[in-house]
Amino acid sequence: MLMSNKVITIKGKMSYKKYIQLFTSFYNLSEKEIDVLATFLEVNDELVNQKIDINVFSAIGKKEVASRLKIKDFNTLNNYIKRLKDKGILLPLPFGYDFMELFLNVKCETLTLKFVW
């Protein structure tokens, strides 16, 4: 069987949302799930940059994400967190969640993707 492949290189920084959209079809993400994940990643970056040791999925983090997404009750985010966990994007920890490593590479200057079919 003959295999084909294609290498795509993307240079320059991109937003979390654009980065996540590259992988949407692999994870069957809705537009709202993309927005929620992108916002959690943004808030997480800010916490890390400010050296604040809080899991972004704590009540404090969820309140900030809900505020940015104009969601009235921050507990609504638990539905999206569960969906993202079920899709393998969020990894459970004893006291919260962490992001799948693929989604922690957004700040790279050059992204190279190799598709094989």
Q: Evaluate whether 37 touches 29 at the Cβ level (below 8 Å).
A: yes
Task: Please check the confidence at residue 88 and state whether its pLDDT lies above 80.
Answer: yes
Backbone angles phi, psi at 19, to 5 degrees: -60, -50
Q: What confidence tier does 104 reach under pLDDT thresholds 50, 70, 90? A: confident
Element (H, E) at 9: strand 5-11
Task: Please check the confidence at residue 115 and state whether its pLDDT lies above 90.
Answer: no
The structural domain count of the chain equals: 1
Strands (E), 40-109: 90-93, 96-99
Cα–Cα distance measured from residue 94 to residue 47, given in angstroms and rounded to the nearest whole number? 19
* Structural domain that includes position 30: 5-116
Structure tokens at 27: 């994870």
